[in-house]
Amino acid sequence: MEFPLRRSPPLKRKIISILRNFMPFWIIALIVLTVGCALLVNFFGAAASTWINILLLAAALGPEVLRRTPRLYLAWTRFKYYLLNRESIWSLNCEFGGVFKERDLESFLTSLIADKSVTIAILNRSPDEVMITFDHRVHARLSLSNSPSGHDADFQARDYSSLSLAILDHQISYRKSIETMDRVILPLIERLEHAFNCLSRKYALRIHFDGTNPFFGLYAQQVNIDRVREFTFIFTLPRVRNDDYVRIEKNEMIIVARSQSDFRASTLAGLAFHLPR
């Protein structure tokens, strides 16, 4: 009994398979556009109508190239955010562990007020909590929490195990976001860590977008966005701790880190809409 020989797929099918598996879609689109331009110019000459047809071909390929090329899609989104200077709302919460006293908080406030290079306004004040305006732009809350250890009967000398810095609902434009991080938020955190003996650190930044999160738009292009009730995507960056991460939700981005360098790197990656490699 003879078995029929299995025919190999046509050459055209092999070529298409190779292109799909090993060549990015934008390169395929560029080849199609180049060939199309050459054919149009060859058959119809370099007339104005020919160039209009070439532009129409490029416009037809553009959306599909963006849809199938994640990094190009995010780069285009970053350009739009920068051009339109869209605003987002930041909520920052930093938790520091150690042994803290109320007099340490008082000393820190005194040093801030004495520093003429920054502008500090105290809005509300109590022995274990203070509300301040930093650099005319950022409203922050410093507080000592957890039950006092009770080792000292003097109220001013009681110990606390947690110090928190909270910046709530700070509205900021896209172009000002990195500048605010580098010139306002991180310097304030550095001063705080220098003034207190912090044994542990945790930084958490929540960014609420005016509209959908650009990362969400990347992964949900094929569905009706209004019908998506919940969306979560978590990634980590190379060379950071395993418990540091960036979490993407439908309208928000949450960045969690345990060192200033990792916190800054994750924040910059999130604001630049960079996918991890």
Please give the single-letter amino acid code of residue 148: P
pLDDT at 275: 60
Mean pLDDT of 108-134: 85
Distance in angstroms (rounded) separating the CA atoms of residues 8 and 10: 6
CA distances from 153 to 83, 158, 197, 224, 271 (A): 59, 7, 22, 62, 48
pLDDT at 8 over 60: no
What is the pTM (predicted TM-score) of this model? 0.70
Mean pLDDT of 128-143: 86
Higher pLDDT, 34 or 103: 103
pLDDT at 151 over 70: no
pLDDT at 197: 86
Per residue in 185-237, pLDDT (tens digit) is 888 899 899 889 888 999 999 999 887 777 776 666 555 666 667 778 887 77
pLDDT at 10: 60
Higher pLDDT, 72 or 156: 72
Confidence bin at 256 (pLDDT 50/70/90):
very high
Mean pLDDT of 156-177: 84
DSSP three-state, residue 125: strand
pLDDT at 11 over 50: yes
DSSP-derived secondary structure for 31-59: HHHHHHHHHHHHHH-S-HHHHHHHHHHHH
For helices 102-114 and 186-195, give the axis angle rounded to 10 degrees: 130
Specify the DSSP element, H or E, that contains 235. strand 232-235
pLDDT, mean over the chain = 77
